[in-house]
Amino acid sequence: MPTLKLTYFDFHGGRGEPARIALSIAGIEFEDVRVRFPEWAALKPLTPFGSIPTLEVDGEVLAHSNTINRYVGRLTGLYPEDALQAAFCDEAMDAIEEATALVSATMGIRDPIALKAAREALLEPLTRALRNIDRRLAARGDFLADGRLTVADLKAFVWLGDLASGRLDHIPANLCEEVAPHLHALKGRVADDPRVRGYHARVRGAAT
Amino acid sequence: MPTLKLTYFDFHGGRGEPARIALSIAGIEFEDVRVRFPEWAALKPLTPFGSIPTLEVDGEVLAHSNTINRYVGRLTGLYPEDALQAAFCDEAMDAIEEATALVSATMGIRDPIALKAAREALLEPLTRALRNIDRRLAARGDFLADGRLTVADLKAFVWLGDLASGRLDHIPANLCEEVAPHLHALKGRVADDPRVRGYHARVRGAAT
């Protein structure tokens, strides 16, 4: 197994959390580097694309969250072997990443009126993204690919958790529940997976 | 081999062209459906995510260009087998897609003054993206991954061709040449690949 160092912000959400969950539930050892927001400005220029997560693999630094999710998915058995199922997994991750980028683009807006306008303008494309992914999930069964938990479901789980967290002002926390019932059910299914429950129990234990 | 139908706009560029080149140079048969711009409004709501390219694989429709590139890369042998080299290939495609999305977001702007402002605002992030990918390429050798032509190089080739095409008002056609010399050399290397030359010769032949 390669030596792994995953670097991401110090919260349980966002683009780096799916890889943390995947590695943790597979019992694969990794250095879990957590960046506090005030540290980010100094670290940013040292990253390959000015972004985290990054995953260092035996000294080689990988960037871009879905690249990392896929690599980690292979290490952990949480990525399909079959090419078409792998494409279903990839497509869901690409679709979620596209929707994530919309929200990310509003994260730096400081002016409250501009933030409100930007977030309200997101509701229509976010709703569309949720509905589109929901329709794919409905056609595919209980999981986004391969009939079992993959990194795509972990990415969906973390994304939907972020949307429902109440941390995103002007995005109704119940948006997914309202417009994407299959995704909402998937979120519950992932949360109830014994491996994911074990991860959250360990995380909560470590935090106390 | 599955029955394949690739649907994309009727020009030699953009998000659908890398898969067309990959399938063509590998000699894999596919239905090459070309959408003219006036037809797009009627087709859009029938696609899974309101976007093309789509790739139909034995009746299953895949969306999102890098998902399609990766699936096609596997079929054609133009995607690395090794997990880390595959991640290098994925990372380059993700980085190019991120830069492509910046430009795409300006494609619908009709007002000339607003378009100029939006395109000029792109120069800094586009330059940064080119430089970042250029640095990765420089570290990796003649190709973006696996020491040979992969779908990542085809994506870079098409993207750099679009940037240099003169079709994007207010983006200097020589931007890549100016700021990303290794990528500029890669573009020439891909264009000179005998398989890619053969593809372009066939395309030009078909157009006359």
Mean pLDDT over all residues of chain A?
Answer: 96
Answer whether A67 touches B (CB < 8 Å).
yes
Answer whether A96 touches B (CB < 8 Å).
no
Which of the four pLDDT bands, split at 50, 70 and 90, describes residue A207? Answer: low
Which percentage of chain A shows pLDDT scores above 70? 99
Which of the four pLDDT bands, split at 50, 70 and 90, describes residue B101? Answer: very high
Local structure of A98: helix, strand or coil: helix
Are B193 and B150 in contact by the 8 Å Cβ rule? The answer is no
- Specify the DSSP class assigned to residue B45: G
Answer whether B67 touches A (CB < 8 Å).
yes
CATH number of residue A101's parent domain: 1.20.1050.10
A87/B66 CB distance under 8 A: no
Output the CA torsion sign for B51, B55, B56, B60.
negative
* Cβ contacts of A57 on chain B, cutoff 8 Å: 84, 87
Q: Which of B15, B65, B84, B140 to mutate to test the interface with A (most CBs of A within 10 A)?
A: B84
Q: Is the pLDDT of residue A192 over 90?
A: yes
Q: B71 and B97 share a domain?
A: no
Q: Is the pLDDT of residue B207 over 70?
A: no
Q: Which of A4, A68, A78, A90 to mutate to test the interface with B (most CBs of B within 10 A)?
A: A90
Distance from CA of B95 to the nearest CA of A (A): 7
- Single out the residue of A72, A78, A55 nearest to residue A4, CA to CA: A55
pLDDT digits (tens, 9 = 90+) for B7-40: 999 999 999 999 999 999 999 999 999 999 999 9
Q: A104 and A132 share a domain?
A: yes
Nearest chain A residue (CA) to B130: A49
Q: Is the pLDDT of residue A65 over 70?
A: yes
A50/B132 CB distance under 8 A: yes
**pLDDT computed for residue B119 by the predictor:** 96
Q: B47 and B69 share a domain?
A: yes
For B199-205, what is the mean pLDDT? 90
Answer whether A132 touches B (CB < 8 Å).
yes
Q: A200 and A188 share a domain?
A: no
Among A49, A57, A91, whose Cβ lies nearest the Cβ of B63?
A91
Which of the four pLDDT bands, split at 50, 70 and 90, describes residue B206? Answer: confident
Q: Is the pLDDT of residue B185 over 70?
A: yes
Instruction: Report the number of distinct structural domains present in chain B.
Output: 2
DSSP for A134-173 reads HHHHHHH-SSSSTTS--HHHHHHHHHHHHHTSS-STTS-T
3-state secondary structure A10-67: CCCCCCCHHHHHHHHHCCCCCEEEEECHHHHHHHHHHCCCCCCCEEEECCEEEECHHH
**pLDDT computed for residue B84 by the predictor:** 98
Q: A20 and A88 share a domain?
A: no
Of the listed ranges B50-54, B83-87, B100-104, the one predicted with least confidence: B100-104
What would the two tokens of residue A23 be?
A: 């590695």
* Cβ contacts of A63 on chain B, cutoff 8 Å: 91, 95
pLDDT digits (tens, 9 = 90+) for B141-169: 999 999 999 999 999 999 999 999 999 99
Q: A67 and A93 share a domain?
A: no
CATH number of residue B44's parent domain: 3.40.30.10
Q: B18 and B93 share a domain?
A: no
Q: B57 and B99 share a domain?
A: no
Kindly report the backbone phi and psi dihedral angles of residue B48, in degrees, each rounded to the nearest multiple of 5, phi listed first: -60, -35
Q: B101 and B151 share a domain?
A: yes
Whole-angstrom CA distances from A2 to A5, A15, A119, A145, A184 are: 10, 22, 41, 26, 35
Q: Is the pLDDT of residue B98 over 70?
A: yes
B64/A95 CB distance under 8 A: yes
* Cβ contacts of A83 on chain B, cutoff 8 Å: 71, 74-75
Mean pLDDT over all residues of chain B?
Answer: 96
Q: Is the pLDDT of residue A208 over 60?
A: no
Q: B50 and B109 share a domain?
A: no
Write the Ramachandran bin of B9: left for phi over 0, alpha for psi from -120 to 50, otherwise beta: beta
Are A168 and A119 in contact by the 8 Å Cβ rule? The answer is yes
For A110-129, what is the mean pLDDT? 97
Q: A162 and A180 share a domain?
A: yes
A48/B101 CB distance under 8 A: no
B90/A66 CB distance under 8 A: yes
What would the two tokens of residue B42 be?
A: 């009627």
For B111-135, what is the mean pLDDT? 97
Please work out, in degrees rounded to the nearest 5, the angle formed at the alpha carbon of residue B117 by the alpha carbons of B112 and B120. Answer: 120
Q: Please give the helix or strand (H or E) that residue B61 lies within, else none.
A: strand B60-63
Answer whether A173 touches B (CB < 8 Å).
no
Among B64, B71, B94, whose Cβ lies nearest the Cβ of A83?
B71
For A135-158, what is the mean pLDDT? 98
Q: A155 and A74 share a domain?
A: no
Answer whether A86 touches B (CB < 8 Å).
yes
**pLDDT computed for residue B145 by the predictor:** 98
Which of the four pLDDT bands, split at 50, 70 and 90, describes residue B130? Answer: very high
Distance, in Å, from the CA atom of A88 to the CA atom of B63, rounded to the nearest integer, reads 9
Range of the domain at A185: 83-193
Among B50, B60, B66, whose Cβ lies nearest the Cβ of A84?
B60
For A44-73, what is the mean pLDDT? 98
- How many contacts (CB atoms, under 8 Å) link A and B? 81
